[in-house]
């Protein structure tokens, strides 16, 4: 299937989905009007909520080695354009649709036709509030079915326009990271439980192939291709959030292609967030671990299968109402291949003049090895508009 066919199918599918949402809304409107043709069928009015954002990057300069002052103009590119709609289809039932229109590093590499550029369907699910259907017991449970973002960790659960820094941590979304993928969406079912504002817990069973893909076989490398994901978040104080996540299964760094070739992996994650009320000080810490090779050094041909650990931290402080100072640090260590260890240092300023506009200037420096001197740096100017 060539790129043109993929793009045509993607755009056509998106147009059809929007048409269906509009048809649901129009039918509900007609049912409440005086000229409704079926007086015995009264439809509930459907409320639509639209969301989206545009994120554009201007890479002002890049440098390698000790030539940190030798910046060159590197050009601009559109990082993200996301557009979504939520329909309150029925009391206690929501339909959610989210698409990525730019597709930069959303679902893998250019090795998969249409995965780097063009439309990618991210969210397409129904969420059912079971408290509406369990009578006086009113169980605080939500059932999600369809394609959704699997709940794992803290940093990757943010939308791009919610990140303090301009991009996700390298412990997730780079080939050398612990998870080694930016595929956070999959098809399956999830059950979530929330008790007031104190505790949230959810468990999901997903296809394990990435978005919009059917498993080619029932097993991958002799193992079930489905993934299991679970998360627990505690909020003991209004200013403090603590959490832990678990994932078991194959992870696909490119949709439909096994990312770690020796066996399924077990991922664990622990995180904490402390934030003062209002626009003030905030700090985040997160630890991630990938295991499954039995801590046995692997041949150089399958370094992707090596066990890994990662750490990321972010500190932010508002200097004044619209201006935020941010610092970040990422670290990844690879068992048996310490030459593949990496670290990243980040710092910058964000200007938030309004609720929908954000302009950030960030300096990044990357190093091979946890404590090595940075060998690469870049300066990024980000402009972001959300609604």
Residues 110, 112, 115: CA angle, nearest 5 degrees: 70
Backbone angles phi, psi at 163, to 5 degrees: -70, 140
pLDDT at 206: 87
> How far apart, in whole angstroms, are the C-alpha atoms of residue 120 and residue 105?
11
Q: Is the dihedral of CA 29, 35, 38, 41 positive or negative?
A: positive
pLDDT at 19: 44
Contacts by 168-172 with C-beta closer than 8 Å and gap 24+? 169/286, 169/310, 169/312, 169/328, 169/330, 170/312, 170/330, 170/332, 170/342, 170/344, 170/366, 171/286, 171/288, 171/310, 171/311, 171/312, 171/330, 171/331, 171/332, 172/288
Q: What is the CA radius of gyration of the chain?
A: 22
Q: Is the dihedral of CA 202, 251, 337, 157 positive or negative?
A: negative
Instruction: Output the tens digit of pLDDT for each of the chain's 387 residues.
Output: 443 343 334 444 444 444 444 444 434 444 444 444 445 555 667 889 999 989 888 888 776 655 444 445 556 777 888 899 999 988 899 999 999 887 544 444 333 333 445 677 889 999 999 998 888 888 899 999 999 998 999 998 998 888 888 888 888 877 678 877 666 788 899 999 998 889 999 999 988 766 666 555 444 444 456 789 999 999 999 999 999 999 987 655 444 454 554 456 788 999 999 999 988 999 999 999 988 755 444 444 455 567 889 999 999 999 998 899 999 999 998 887 777 888 899 999 999 887 789 999 999 988 876 666 777 788 899 999 998
Task: Show the domains of the chain with their CATH numbers.
Answer: 1-45 (no CATH), 46-386 (2.40.160.10)
Residues 296, 298, 299: CA angle, nearest 5 degrees: 155
pLDDT at 385: 92
> How far apart, in whole angstroms, are the C-alpha atoms of residue 352 and residue 368?
33
pLDDT at 242: 98
Backbone angles phi, psi at 303, to 5 degrees: -65, -25
> How far apart, in whole angstroms, are the C-alpha atoms of residue 167 and residue 110?
20
Cβ atoms 78, 56 nearer than 8 A = yes
pLDDT at 43: 60
Cβ atoms 385, 359 nearer than 8 A = no
Cβ atoms 133, 121 nearer than 8 A = no
pLDDT at 79: 80
Distances (CA, A) of 239 to 231, 276, 277: 20, 6, 7
pLDDT at 161: 83
pLDDT at 179: 78
> How far apart, in whole angstroms, are the C-alpha atoms of residue 54 and residue 386?
6
């Amino acid at each position: 299937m060539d790129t043109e066919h993929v793009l045509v199918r993607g755009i056509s599918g998106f147009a059809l989905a929007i048409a269906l949402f509009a048809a649901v809304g129009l039918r509900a409107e007609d049912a409440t009007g005086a000229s409704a043709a079926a007086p015995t069928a009264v439809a509930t009015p459907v409320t639509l909520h639209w969301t989206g954002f545009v994120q554009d990057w201007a890479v002002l300069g890049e440098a390698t080695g000790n030539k940190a002052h030798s910046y060159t103009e590197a050009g601009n590119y559109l990082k993200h354009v996301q557009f979504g709609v939520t329909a309150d289809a029925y009391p206690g039932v929501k339909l959610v649709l989210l698409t990525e229109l730019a597709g930069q590093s959303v679902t893998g590499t250019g090795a998969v036709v249409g995965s780097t550029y063009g439309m990618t369907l991210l969210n397409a699910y129904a969420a059912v509030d079971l408290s509406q259907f369990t009578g006086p017991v009113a169980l605080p449970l939500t059932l999600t079915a369809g394609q959704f973002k699997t709940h794992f960790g803290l940093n990757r659960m943010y939308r791009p326009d919610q990140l303090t820094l301009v991009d996700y941590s390298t412990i997730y979304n780079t080939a050398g990271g612990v998870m080694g993928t930016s595929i956070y969406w999959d098809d399956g079912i999830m059950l979530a439980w929330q008790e007031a504002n104190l505790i949230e817990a959810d468990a999901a069973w997903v296809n394990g192939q990435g978005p919009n893909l059917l498993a080619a076989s029932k097993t991958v490398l002799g193992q079930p291709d489905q993934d299991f994901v679970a998360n627990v978040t505690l909020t003991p104080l209004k200013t403090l959030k603590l959490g832990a996540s678990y994932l078991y299964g194959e992870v696909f760094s490119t949709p439909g292609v096994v990312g770690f070739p020796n066996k399924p992996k077990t991922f664990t994650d622990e995180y904490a967030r402390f934030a003062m009320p209002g626009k003030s000080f905030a700090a985040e810490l997160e630890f991630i671990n990938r295991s499954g090779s039995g801590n046995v050094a692997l041949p150089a041909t399958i370094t992707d299968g090596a066990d890994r650990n990662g750490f990321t931290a972010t500190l932010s402080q508002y200097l004044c109402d619209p201006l935020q100072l941010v610092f970040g640090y990422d670290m990844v260590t690879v068992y048996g291949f310490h030459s593949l260890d990496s670290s990243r240092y980040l710092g910058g300023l964000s200007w938030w003049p309004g609720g929908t506009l954000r302009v950030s200037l960030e300096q990044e420096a990357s190093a091979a090895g946890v404590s090595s001197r940075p060998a690469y740096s870049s300066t990024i100017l980000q402009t972001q508009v959300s609604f």
